[in-house]
Each structure stands twice: as structure tokens, then as C-alpha cells.
Amino acid sequence: MVAERARQIEISGIRRMFEGAPPDAVNLGLGEPDFDPPPAAIEALCRAVRDGRNHYGPSAGLPELREKIAERYRDRAPATGRENVIVTGSGSEGLAAVALTLYDTGDEVLVPNPGFVLYAPHARLAGATPVPYSLTERRRYLPDLDELERRVTSRTRAIVVNSPSNPTGTVFPRATVDRLVDFADRHDLTVVSDEVYEEIVYDGPATSFWGRSDRAIIVNSFSKTLAMTGWRIGFLVAPRALVPEINKVHYHLMACPSTPVQLAVLAGLAESDGAMREMVREFRARRTLVLRRLRSAPGVTVVPPAGAFYAFPRFAWQKSSAETAGELLARGVITTPGDAFGPLGASHLRLSFAASRADLHRGLSILGEYAAEQSGARR
Ligand SMILES: Cc1ncc(COP(=O)(O)O)c(C=O)c1O
């Protein structure tokens, strides 16, 4: 009744947590900023809809938005033009279009473990085999190049990378980016670089793969940077020769991105820098709060996230992350079990800073008490 490709993928473990939550629970499970889009974007969206801009547009996006995006990438590679850009119906759709364009049946794709929930299922939907590479606390969640060398085969088509990372918050140092570029070159792999959190960084800018590798495809989104997750709009930047190919698949997935939302993004970008600075300032303060509370929780260790808005603490008690998250949920705090992001997320929770400071205090108090009990029980 149902195709094998649908049967072999599962509902995301992130979404599952919300289903059993009590209504007054503190929510530290959100993967989206608790801010509104810039006022100019909201105004422009209303205006566009009222002015009748409610029709299909070009499948690769409005030329003026493609141009604006290209402009923002020229400091990384001066030759970047609108021919490198496709406006997508979100980062998620961009990732799907890239997977379906690049991967053939029987191909292998290196994906991070733990890593964002779409990479492995997208590879499977395209008929390829996801091959996880490890990100561990011991290596501060940076890829181990020796391990990558062991995992790569003649069938490997691409490596998916994500910096800043969901769920670990890791930002690759430039040397790591250069090593990964060199690795991809030597093995003739495409680098699919998910950079949706690139502007949400705390200790200095993130290094983009654009301009450092001519085989990189950058997947990006306005969801997080303009706080418009529900508007479903993103983009990708790719080598010119690949753009028409990806655009064909993108057309068959969604025809074109939303016209009024693109007009809203154009208006929002004009005033996004100030809003972005404000959002990052608030996330930075929350990060400090979260790290302080986590460090005082018995049996919990955490690597400070340098980007995105998640902490990914590891716990020492002998329970699964789903059981731990379930017990915390019963006490009134929603977290995301680490193994929703892959087997190496076991013994971890993902905590989102997209909650008020008061909620973070309340949620982390519950977690602290729980951690003390679990650690006491261990002795
Ligand atoms: C790492 C990463 N990539 C891509 C996405 C997709 O974002 P969207 O589809 O809202 O653009 C998310 C959303 O949580 C994410 O965390």
C-alpha cells in the first residue's frame, strides 16, 4: 500500500516530544526563535497580498531577491551572481531538492551523527545510503578526518556538513573547513553545507564553505535569521552548472517559492542587521545562563555552543535519552532527546534557548533537581 521509501523513514523524534506535553510545561524543545519577523517584512507581506502579488513567480525565485542574496555572498566569492542562487520554499525543501538532484540509487552520503534530522532520510528518499560520521564530546563535536577517510568509498557521492550545528552548537574553525574541503576534493565529493545558523554565532563569525570550495552547495534559510519559520522561505547557493539541474527538481517539488513572502524577505533584509544583533545579544545572555545552570547540575557535562541556539549536554546516568526526556516531561519541562539526532546523541538532551529567561530558569531548576536525584541514585 505504501512505497518502501516511505516505510523506511520515521517521523522525526523532535516532533514526537511535543505530542505528550502537559499544557503548562516549560518548552525547551523549540527549534525556532521566539521572536517575530522584522516589522518591515510583516508590513511588506500584508502590502504584497493586498496589492495582488498573489501569483506564481519564476521557479528559481524573483530576480531581485536572487540578486540581493548573491550580493551578500560576493565577499566570499566575488564572481557570485544570481545564476548561483535558487530561492527555495525553506531550508528543508532546499536540502530535499539537493538530495534528489545529486544522489543516485546505490550512492553513499556522509552525514553527521548526531546531526539534523533530515539529512539521512533525504538520502534514503533519493535511494542512497546515509553513512554516519561521528561527532563526539571528546572531540568537541568536530569531525574526525581519519574516521572520514575510513568511511569514504568509491560509492561516496557527498558529505553533508552543518556549522553552526543543530544539535551541538559547534562552529567549525577555519582549519576544519579547509581540511574538509581538501578531503572532498581528494575524493571527488560534493559538499552539502547547511549554513542556516550562520548568523547566530557567539564567539566570532562562522566560516562558510562558499568561496573555499568550488564543489560546495550552500543550503540556507530565512527561517532563523529573520525569525520567520512559518513563512517557509530559504535559498541555496550552488555552482552555476548545477543550478539548472537543482532548479528542475525544485520546480517539480513546489513550482516556485511564495511570491508575497519573497517580497517580504526583500523588505526584511533591509533592516535585518539590527534585529539580528538584538536577537543574538539575547541568545548570548541566555547561553551564559544555561551554561551556568548546567555546570552546577550533577552528572552533566556540556561543551559551550559557539553558535545556533542549543546546548547539547551529556548526562552520566544509565538511562536512554528518550527515558530521561520522558521523565523530565512528566515533571513539566520539554526537552529533545539527543538520540533523535542519531545514535551518538544517546545520553544527551538538546535544550533550546528559544524560551524566556524565566522559563529557562524554571526548566533548568527542574533539570538540576532531576540530575541530583539520578546522580544520587547512582552512588
Ligand atoms: C540545521 C538545520 N537545517 C535546516 C533546517 C530547516 O529549516 P527551514 O526548513 O525552516 O528553513 C533546520 C530547522 O530546524 C535546521 O536546524
Domain residue ranges in the chain: 4-37+273-374, 40-271
Q: Region 94-122: what's the mean pLDDT?
A: 97
Q: What is the mean pLDDT of the chain?
A: 95
Question: Hunting for cell 532531576 — which residue is that?
Answer: 370
Beta-ladder partners of 110: 131, 159
pLDDT-derived band of residue 15, with 50, 70 and 90 as boundaries? low
Tell me what pLDDT residue 99 has.
98
What pLDDT, on a 0 to 100 scale, did the predictor assign at position 379? 42
Q: What cell does 150 get?
A: 575510513
Mean pLDDT to the nearest integer, 176-191: 98
pLDDT surpasses 80 at 21:
no
| Candidate from 11-25, 28-42, 241-255, 288-302 with smallest mean pLDDT | 11-25
Query: What is residue 295's predicted lDDT score, i.e. its pLDDT?
Result: 96
Phi–psi pair at 226, nearest 5 degrees: -105, 10
Taking residues 47-52, what's their average pLDDT? 98
Binding site membership of 229 for ligand 1 (Cβ less than 6 Å): yes
Domains 4-37+273-374 and 40-271 are alike in CATH topology: no
- For the Cβ of 116 lying below 6 angstroms from any atom of ligand 1, the answer is yes
Sequence-separated (6 or more) residues with CB below 8 Å from residue 210: 73, 76, 77, 80, 193, 216, 218, 237
Question: What is the atom index within ligand 1 of the atom nearest the CA of 31?
Answer: 14
Rounded mean pLDDT, 22-40: 88
Q: Using a 6 Å cutoff on CB, does residue 31 contact ligand 1?
A: yes
Burial class (CB in 10 A: 0-12, 13-18, 19+), 355: buried
d(CA 178, CA 95): 23
Yes or no: is domain 40-271 CATH 3.90.1150.10? no
| Rounded CA separation 162/208 (Å) | 10
**pLDDT above 50 (res 315):** yes
Q: Tell how far the Cα of 122 is from the centroid of ligand 1, in angstroms.
A: 13
Q: Is the dihedral of CA 137, 142, 147, 151 positive or negative?
A: positive
SS3 131: strand
**What proportion of the chain, given as a percentage, has pLDDT over 90?**
88
The residue whose C-alpha atom lies closest to atom 16 belonging to ligand 1 is: 166
Mean pLDDT of 57-85: 98
Q: What cell was used for 184?
A: 572532498
118-160: per-residue pLDDT in tens?
A: 999 999 999 999 999 999 999 999 999 999 999 999 999 999 9
Ligand 1 atom 13, closest CA: 31
113, 166, 310: residue to mutate for ligand 1 pocket, most atoms within 8 A of CB = 166
Picking from 311, 314, 302, the residue whose alpha carbon sits closest to that of residue 351 is 311
CA of 235 to the centre of ligand 1 (A): 12
- In the predicted structure, residue 61 carries a pLDDT above the cut 50: yes
| Residue (of 243, 245, 184, 240) closest to 212 by Cα position | 184
**Is residue 170 lining ligand 1, measured as CB closer than 6 Å?**
no
Q: How far apart are CA 65 and CA 347, in angstroms?
A: 43
Please identify which residue in the block is written with the cell numbers 524577505: 265
| Pairing of the two strands 234-237 and 216-221 | antiparallel
CB crowding 257-287: b at 16 or more within 10 Å, else e? bbbbbbbbbbbbbeebeebbeebbebbbebb
Query: What are the E-state strand segments in 114-182?
Result: 129-134, 156-162
Does residue 91's CB lie within 6 angstroms of at least one atom of ligand 1? yes
12 pLDDT exceeds 80?
Answer: no
Position in ligand 1 atom list of the atom nearest CA 91: 11
What's the pLDDT score for residue 4? 87
242 within 8 A of 163, measured Cβ to Cβ: no
Ligand 1 test: best mutation among 196, 225, 250, most atoms within 8 Å of CB? 196
Check: CB of residue 192 under 8 Å from CB of residue 118.
no
- The top-level CATH class assigned to 4-37+273-374 is alpha beta
The confidence band for 22, taking pLDDT boundaries of 50, 70 and 90, is confident
Can you give the pTM of this predicted structure? 0.96
For residue 319, which amino acid is it?
Answer: K
Q: What spatial distance separates the first Cα and last Cα of the chain, rounded to whole Å? A: 52
**Centroid of ligand 1 to alpha carbon of 1 (angstroms):** 30
Instruction: Spell out a b/e string for 25-39, using b for 16 or more CB atoms within 10 Å of the CB, else e.
Output: bbbbbbbebbbebbe
